[in-house]
Structure 1
Amino acid sequence: MPLLIQKGVRWLIIISALVQICGHGITARAEPIQLATGDYEPFTGPDLENGGVLTEIVQTVFEAMGRDSTVSFYPWQRAITTTQEGAFHATFPFLKNKEREQKFLFSDPIVSWESKIFIRKDTDIRYQNPESLTGLAECLPHHTAGIAEMDRLFNAGKITRMRPPSMKSCWLMIAHGRADFLIEDIFVARIAQRSYLGDKEGEVVPLDAVISIDPGYLMFPKSLKNSVFLRDLFNTTLNTPAVVSQIQAIRERHILRLAKPASS
């Protein structure tokens, strides 16, 4: 699509949004966007600065849309279920899969996860390709979508899956030899190892290969009539130069803070 047409479409969406907002009056304009998320340090969490880097990014986009927003933190499955039922305007951050696409509309990506395989240090697991994992047990929390290659292996009966309630459980299961491997974003993993394993963090280690780079999304429930409108305006606002610049500044600030060594 030519650049001028792309810009024209973008401005039409923004103008349409303003018309709809004004048409609904002051009360509708003042209604805050209700968001649901969970605990996934450093991206989201009730005890993190501004709710985590992704929480701050998502709320920044809605602020640029002219909408206040509130964030509620729940167990992940409850966040999905209650949002699907219409209790929240959106939930985040989630991978896209066929089951979720039946119930939700997806934003443009708000994060990219770079994942590695983590194993117990004293095992002899080696990774050359996905088939190298045949016969092993992956630990994958029940609320979490698997990456495509692992889904393929699981559906073919080549790997099994342990489905505990949390990622913390998975780290502990790997450390105690109750599952063979887990897959996690390398940035998240560094924090999880310190938080969940303590002085045993060195017992669970990554394999060298990056096996997946996956986008994460904001999900809008199809059960709400205004979800298409909100999703389209969110995407348009997310990609405007001013907001892109704000998001980059937020990411850099959080990275600098997390990179600081813990005080003794």
Structure 2
Amino acid sequence: MIRTSRFGWLVLLLCLVARAEANDLRLVTGDGYAPFTSKELPGGGLLAQVVEQALGQAHVASSLDWLPWSRGLRMTQQGKYDATFPYIRTEALGEQFLFSEPLMVVRQHLFSLAGRAYEVDDLSTLSGRRLCYPLGWQLPTAIQAMVEQGRLLRHAPKGLNECARLLLLGRDDFFIANGPIGAAALAATGQPASRFRRSRSSFGEISLHVIVSRAHPRAEQLMQTINLSLLQFRGSDRHLRLLDAYLEARDRQAQR
């Protein structure tokens, strides 16, 4: 097996960057996915900052647009954008897109009002319930099957914050999110955390990625540039400072 030295990786990255600079990377993401992507957060959210700072540190010029999730995904598939993020790896998306190295690994839980004990390890209790899950977001496989079988009624608003409000109004029974995103949506309601419940069990670890359409004429080159930028950024002090700032902000929010 050929081993590439740190210097070799740097040379390769610089070559890819030189080729990419002729065409700035056109990125698109969606709103309402706090704390990862949100117009209301500094820098557009944690993962928006990770992607932009990683490319910037590697001297890869890029632009970032905000569109509804389904539209941004469709326009990326059509090649009108070079890449979009963050997306969970699924078999269906894998047929049309290349996936980057993970941006982050998280676990998804069920969120409901307090007193309603829904658990991932007993999905039968969800039959006949109303699920809130934003338009363009990817459902866990088992939940997708229940929706297709008519065992769950899915409501698809534009963002997760609306799902949290709909729980309070009694219009939906539960929503699905990873821990940080679910907590942010609940906090946005202004209600105490005691009014809600997060399932003890989860769907297991999932990873969030940047994706590039397989139909893009420079798909492989773009993905190499993105991956090498992410790898270089993860080993830098800037990445550590960004994560530290994010954790400090979460701690301050929890103390309010």
Distance 2:83 2:56 in 1: 15
After TM superposition, list the pairs within 5 Å mapping 1:20-99 onto structure 2. Answer: 22=18, 29=21, 31-39=23-31, 40-99=33-92
Secondary structure in 2 matching 1:250: helix
Match of 1:247? Answer: 239
CA offset at residue 57 of structure 1? 0.8
Name the count of aligned residue pairs: 255
Question: Do the aligned residues in 1 keep the contact of 2:212 with 2:223 (CA within 8 Å)?
Answer: yes
Distance 2:15 2:197 in 1: 54
| AA partner of residue 234 (structure 1) | I
TM-score (norm 1): 0.82
Q: Does 1:256 align with 2:253?
A: no
After TM superposition, list the pairs within 5 Å mapping 1:44-193 onto structure 2. Answer: 44-123=37-116, 125=118, 128-193=121-186
Question: Do the aligned residues in 2 keep the contact of 1:14 with 1:233 (CA within 8 Å)?
Answer: no
Change (3 A) 1:75 1:207: same
| AA partner of residue 106 (structure 1) | F
Distance 1:55 1:124 in 2: 34
* Unmatched segments (≥5 aa) in structure 2: none
Secondary structure in 1 matching 2:246: helix
Secondary structure in 2 matching 1:129: helix
CA offset at residue 93 of structure 1? 0.5
Distance 1:82 1:98 in 2: 19
After TM superposition, list the pairs within 5 Å mapping 1:199-218 onto structure 2. Answer: 199=191, 202-218=194-210
TM-score (norm 2): 0.84
Higher alpha-carbon Rg: 1
Match of 1:237? Answer: 229
Distance 1:20 1:109 in 2: 20
Identity %: 21
Q: Which of 1, 4, 8 is 1:7 aligned to?
A: 4
Question: Do the aligned residues in 2 keep the contact of 1:64 with 1:243 (CA within 8 Å)?
Answer: no
Distance 1:221 1:110 in 2: 18
Across the aligned residues of Structure 1 and Structure 2, the Cα RMSD in angstroms comes to: 2.9
Distance 1:242 1:29 in 2: 22
CA offset at residue 212 of structure 1? 3.0
| AA partner of residue 224 (structure 1) | H
CA offset at residue 143 of structure 1? 0.9
Question: Do the aligned residues in 2 keep the contact of 1:17 with 1:229 (CA within 8 Å)?
Answer: no
| AA partner of residue 170 (structure 1) | C
